[in-house]
Structure 1
Amino acid sequence: MHDIRFIRENPAAFDAGLARRGLAPLSTQILALDEQSRAIKTQLQVGQARRNEASKLIGQAMGAGDKDKAEALKAEVAAIKESTPALEAQDREVGEALGAMLAAIPNLPADDVPQGDDEADNVEVSRWGTPRDFDFAPQDHADFGPALGLDFEGGAALSGARFTALRGQMARLHRALAQFMLDRQTAENGYEEVNPPLLVRDEALFGTGQLPKFAEDLFRTTDGRWLIPTAEVSLTNLVANQIVPLSDLPVRLTALTPCFRSEAGSAGRDTRGFIRQHQFEKVELVAICAPDESEAEHERMCAAAEGILQALGLPYRKMLLCTGDMGFGARKTWDLEVWLPSQNTYREISSVSNCGDFQARRMNARYKPEGEKQTRFLHTLNGSGLAVGRTLVAVLENYQQADGSVIVPEALAPYMGGVTRLTPKA
């Protein structure tokens, strides 16, 4: 959500930010609604003040025996009372229109975000690791994975396309990856583990920006709740409608949860294999902090995600997303892209975003700076640390062997019960 005061005071800067997002100017429309809303509120306040004043004067007139004045005042009070409901309805209507307009506008990009239209305009920041030099033609995980326990047919038979069952040693590797990530983020990076609800109300998804714009990409239950598309929703909303003590900041949270995405707008992309699923697991990272801490917190969170890839020995690159490729709620995003040998390219495995106060305004999440009477909105950040399924794919492809087996990375040894290699079924 955007700060209406900022738009009043900086309409040109607001429109310039929208232009960087590829959007037309909106400040004139917003400020027209804002002016109308303030005028109606002023009219209501003036009417209420006059009604209170006239009510007192009625008693005085009656006490002085001035019945004519008393009757005139009563008529005035009645007229104000009669006109108030229509004004209140108008106030609600204009307020809802203004709120809906502000809620539909994405966050403005930070100054150092590169201008661009899509992922082709993202900027590479750094690389880590060297892609392996195979002495055989590396296969796609979708081709050799079924012999190791990636049951695409079983998952599809149960639930349809983009659902997969993991069996035996594959399920064990998936679980090992998830536990390794969670342990690393809690024990080494200082994130507090949370086991959050997977079903949330409208307000939670509005708070983090998925609603109302992206409803078609979500799964909704028959009782009106929503399955979370990411634990970002549950974790960030833990501070909704709260004033967080300054002494508690920064708040760093992590959770391993299933995530559910219908991805209605992505038909035809990555439909083969395990990269894009309707149900997947992810270790999410969320930070909630004061505004002057958010840039440093963004760096810290990205390093926490990178540490997982480095520990697993997976080559990757860090990308700064351009204005046209950032998510709705982000003001700045880094993507981590892991190397996939079968595709001979890097593919996104984590997005780490600084949302500034955009989500906090939608959630009414605040803090009180030291020495100040007024509260301020917090800054929120989120990132994957990491997406478990995509990490599984990266491990399978980067550690595959010519005989169809897969070597287990050393970092996962404590979680694999002595298993050091996944071997295909005969």
Structure 2
Amino acid sequence: MTFQSPKGTYDLLPPASERVLAVREALAAPVRQAGYGYVETPTFEDTELFKRGVGESTDVVSKEMYTFDDKGGRSLTLRPEGTASVVRAVLQHNLHNGQLPVKLWYSGSQYRYERAQKGRYRHFWQVGAEALGAEDPALDAELVALAWRGFASLGLKGVTLLLNSLGDQVCRPVYRAALQDFLRGLDLDEATRARIEINPLRVLDDKRPEVQEQLEGAPLVADHLCAACKAYHEEVRTLLTALGVPFTDEPKLVRGLDYYTRTTFEFVHGGLGSQSAVGGGGRYDGLSEMLGGPALPSVGWALGVDRTYLAMEAEGLLDEAPAARVQVYGVPLGEEARRRMFLLVEELRAAGLRVDMAFGGKGLKGAMKGADRSGARFALILGERDLAAQAVQVKDLTTAEQTEVPLAQVSDVLKGKLQ
């Protein structure tokens, strides 16, 4: 029997894995430049953290969490999203008692028991950013712009930003009541009708066509915003426009988690089929209090690494061959040469070059095949005669030109050729 990866998961292998790593780094680069510090939280947390933080009425909590009891009888859950964990860490370590806002970013695995399909996996990767402890439309605009810059740095042209406001504790109850009155008159199944009473906004997020058809004419949150929320949202829109970040107002956008307030946004791409979202987020001013902390108005986002990769694939941005993992490949001929090549490889790595060598006692033909497959630009051929001359043969694998270089000079010569 040979084992397979579990359903809804996949392995990242070279060269695709190198590209995925580059995607993560590109999405994280703008937030690092903006002074956000890296945070890493446990892969599993107390189940109650997600029930309270994400919301028991959400599909994430009610259907998709990987929950188990540990040997001490504690209920734990594999992390389905990153924000609740970050807020918990901030509160636990009293970061909110220092300079505000607390600006953090993360990159890691999330787990949800999804219906497995392209772009929707049970184990997936996100890059996320959170700014905690300030209620400021400029902070919302900053985070949206940083995400936009990350997508742009990857060359993506087909990303669209959808923007909405969900109101606050003043105007949301009025909208909630109006929405509940509308939804109670629809022909919905029992589970969806129960959701109307718990969190009616979740019904707006229902993707089933038979539900969406009935939602035509549903009251919109934009029509129920209080003056303060309208002014706040207009300032976010004005700042994004000033930054040159294009957006589309989407009054039905609610996102899939219960903690959002005011600014809500989603990045979508047309090349992913039904799973169009490549990232999103919003303001979550009440989450800290839900988790037992003080008032800590906050905003953040999470961007899907795998979906961003698929978006790049759809736009043909992955057609070029990836950069070679190594620049130089050592080909030793004989035992003494193998020992000297091993030391030379380490010397060249210490000098900042990406270097590999042939292992396993291969002859010249087999070792040169390895050099070709590695994608290296240069092969270093070292035999007994070369050892006696304290030199090495440097072969350009693109032109087949070969020159003899003293061992003491090989690092400088290669650096000059690879510039």
With the length of structure 1 as denominator, give the TM-score of the two structures. 0.49
Q: Which has the higher contact order (CA 8 A, sep 6+)?
A: 1
